[in-house]
Structure 1
């Protein structure tokens, strides 16, 4: 369930303020998409977000939710139709995770059985075991786990719209990247209409179906897809806000599943050195990927390291420390490749089994396509990835 949002001449002027915080904003947010509001500090991003669910009342203009003018609706009833996630999460510290998540369903008077079923469904949805977490308290969770609970709470009554105000901004870079990826996966299932505020253009490019770059007063400098914004900035303001490295930023728009995985010699470590030598000889890469009995990557081994028959395979080469999944961006694949020092990064499925590799040739082809403004050539279908 999702809904279109239309903002027409939306404005907010505070008493004594020389210029409006938000000045006559027009914006149409398509149903089922993530629209990012991004711009310099003080440009009115959060004010705009809070006017949509009327935490802040607009002084002019109209907000339509699926055609209904909600500026005339009861604010409390409206907020129960809109999920809200903020950077600080805002969980009630003295209530269990279960009570936190089910706040809105309980206010709506749902039957107890339906509430319990929805609680378990949501905890599974955000990747947390209900039996383990429902009776814990917020202080017993990590920052990333609390943020997941915040998302689950916002989804509790299955609202058509979600508002997210820098939801991952307080997390460390690793947790932030992981939660961004998990949320994009989740959005593929729930298809909510999401308005997402950030100050980070890289996050906007990664997360958004569309990006609205705002000037002071929430004036729209450019509103388009991430690809279009990066390929053709509307003016110098947008160009300066995007910053350098637009071509590399476009690698953040392409998923590993969207490119062809490179062939690479592999051998099961249990098959011994001679099998590894034969596999290495079958390729001109000069480097072999050793796998365990479940096809999980273990070690990158140079062909020349296989010469001594008395040297155990599990002590040769470099341990595989970085892998990526098919949903990872090419920017993440590049980072993992550089960290691994092997000239390639292993792509694995949910069980950790090898699907293939992304190497420098794959990434250079993607960079060339981005530089020319072309879509990346999609050579591997989902069925082909599954078959590997």
Structure 2
């Protein structure tokens, strides 16, 4: 058990089990688990381990056979399931937007059921659209079929947050999205969580997604037996058993890149010129720096293009806005170094431009910075391994985990 107080625990599963009629074994067997307030806890494990069944028991879509569910200290095992579900947001892979309702009406579903007044509902809809990065004026009156898959998934999250629930359940929400959009949605979720601090239970089959998103990870074996419940760092550096080691697979060092975010790494400066700079002046700047290109930014500091010397030797009279090549790769501070590594493989000049939330360029990140981070990780891992060996050699008992 953890050393947390009762107030710290938002969800407690106490001896939770599920056995379906006609089956000889439990799908979920006597599961005990505490989920802390304001954390993202990711359930991950092989197919059939019971992770989705466990999630659906939390909001009673599936009724448990035995055991208790406590929500913020309240036993909700026998509560009205419809009332319970209105306290918990739910996001699924298939999204499940109502096709005959507008985006605004979809988001307003639960507030309407709770009897909110129209002006309060309208304000909440616009607030949530803005929160998930979609202009209310542009999207409020559209229908789901008019949105891309990634936009629909954002609306699914907004709808789940409609009544401002303390708990959000997410069942493989990004599993059907293309990899690029999936990375962006993961980063968007982390941005939202930094603002809202919801208690989120997230189900995935992807250990890399679990490492990137989770404050804590539950690795499940068959029957929802917990193989390890720990922080991503500890799971990668101190797997509890052979099952966990096998599930993580090879490349644990690279997986640790999912633990470090761009915001944690000192950014590299890059020679920059304003878009109104005369080409001749820009060429002089380029001649005075070791880099092979200049980064052109607009008046607000947002990146516009890359400029090479050949671009600046173009016929006279052409402004910088008509020269160079568009910016091809940018990353946000919340992106992981694993995200950056994927971007750098195809990026021009082997750098990605780092943007803040307003789109302003704050610097760049490159392979050298990632290599340095990997070297630091290796050094820390070696130190931890030596400390562990020394502890064992001294006969000291290992420290109890949280």
TM-score (norm 1): 0.88
Q: Which residue does 1:158 correspond to in 2? A: 164
Instruction: Give SS of 1:271's match.
Output: coil
Does residue 22 of structure 1 match 2:28?
Answer: yes
The answer to whether the 8 A contact 2:282-2:312 is kept is no
Structure 1 residue 97, shift from structure 2 partner: 2.0
- Displacement after TM superposition at 1:277 (Å): 4.4
Map 1:16-165 to 2 at 5 A.
Answer: 16-165=22-171
> Could you tell me which residue of structure 1 aligns to residue 342 of structure 2?
335
Whole-angstrom distance in 2 between the partners of 1:279 and 1:234: 55
Question: Is 1:275–2:287 an aligned residue pair?
Answer: no
2:242 corresponds to 1:236: yes
Question: Match of 1:363?
Answer: 370
Q: Which residue does the alignment assign to 2:4?
A: none
Q: Which residue number in structure 1 is paired with residue 389 of structure 2?
A: none
Aligned equivalents of 1:318 and 1:99: distance in 2? 42
TM alignment of 1:349-388, pairs within 5 A: 349-373=356-380
TM-score of the superposed pair, with normalisation by structure 2: 0.85
| 1:166-185 alignment runs, 5 A limit | 166-185=172-191
CA 1:285–1:186 in structure 2 vs 1: closer, same or farther (change >3 Å)? same
User: 2:231 pairs with 213, 221, 225, which one?
Assistant: 225
Task: Specify whether residues 244 and 25 from structure 1 end up closer, same or farther in structure 2 by C-alpha distance, changes over 3 A only.
Answer: same
Moved more, 33-42 or 355-364: 355-364
3-state SS, counterpart of residue 114 of structure 1: helix
Change over 3 Å in CA distance of 1:92–1:286 after alignment to 2: closer
Report the Cα offset of residue 16 of structure 1.
Answer: 2.1
2:356 maps to 1:323? no
In 2, Cα distance between equivalents of 1:272 and 1:129: 36
Change (3 A) 1:293 1:99: closer
Change (3 A) 1:82 1:295: closer
Structure 1 unaligned runs (5+)?
375-388
Report the counterpart of residue 393 of structure 2 in structure 1. none
Between the aligned partners of 2:113 and 2:360, the Cα distance in structure 1 is 45
Q: Give per-residue Cα distances to partners, 1:222-259, cap 9 Å, x unaligned.
A: 11111111122212211111122221222122111111
- Count residues in correspondence: 372
Provide the rounded CA distance (Å) in 1 between the counterparts of 2:41 and 2:331.
26
Task: Measure, in 2, the Cα distance between the counterparts of 1:307 and 1:105.
Answer: 57
Deviations along 1:97-150, one digit per CA (max 9) or x if unpaired, are 222221211111122222222222222222222232222222222212221121
Shift of 1:330: 1.4
Q: Retained in 1: the 8 A contact 2:183–2:339?
A: no
Distance across 2 between alignment mates of 1:280 and 1:183: 39
Q: Does residue 260 of the first structure (1) align with residue 266 of the second (2)?
A: yes
Please tell me whether the aligned partners of residues 219 and 227 of structure 2 are also in contact (alpha carbons under 8 angstroms): yes
**Contact 1:267 1:276 survives alignment (8 Å):** yes
Q: 1:98 to 1:316 in 2, by over 3 A?
A: closer
Q: Which moved more, 1:193-202 or 1:14-23?
A: 14-23
